[in-house]
Amino acid sequence: MAPLEHLGAFHSGLLHPLLTPTHALGLFGLGLLVGQQPPGNRLLPQLLFLLALGGGLLALAFAVGETPASDVLLIAVAISGALVAAGFPLPRPPLSALAAAMGAAVGLDSPPEVISYQAAVIMLIGSGVGAALVLAIVAAITSRMRRDWQRIGVRVLGSWTAASALLAIAVRFAK
């Protein structure tokens, strides 16, 4: 992630999850999926996402090498979108595993493009906060959609999320 002109390192990192299409799509898809679940199944996946995200960002701070995180994220987005489109509640273990995989992938796919180690760490912290906020907001909004037409709209958004991820996967692997 490159710092945005006229913004500090933290604010550049904060906006990074929204300005990186794969990350935004992933957070949106996972937020829809988590928000679609019964109230008792929403907290654990979000917490595991945050822990895995923190682990991925921490690994970047200690200069982990290149990873297939971007590919893993796209595959997880396709799965989460398909599950949203299916519209049925998931058991906690698979939902939590998917959330953790996406958190680690988002974290590992957020290398800052700055020279200063201090600025890089600040950007990584901003990215973590931004990703956590986006996920929580999308999940909260989705959980409030209880009318039939709203739930259908959520499922349609899930299908578009899956389709977008599958198109990105096809383009990436067609090279």
Residue keyed to tokens 């200690």: 62
Nearest Cα to Cα of residue 84 among 170, 20, 143: 143
pLDDT for residue 77: 96
Longest dimension (CA), the chain: 51
What DSSP assignment string belongs to 148-162? HHHHHHHHHHHHHHH
Instruction: For the chain, 175 residues long, give each residue's pLDDT as a single digit of tens.
Output: 555 566 788 888 889 899 999 999 999 999 999 999 999 899 999 999 999 999 999 988 787 777 888 999 999 999 999 999 999 889 999 999 999 999 999 999 888 777 778 888 888 899 999 999 999 999 999 999 999 999 999 999 999 999 999 999 999 888 6
Neighbours of 68 (CB within 10 A): 11
Give one word for 172, left, alpha or beta, with left for phi > 0 and alpha for psi -120 to 50: alpha
Helix (H, G, I), strand (E, B) or coil at 6: coil
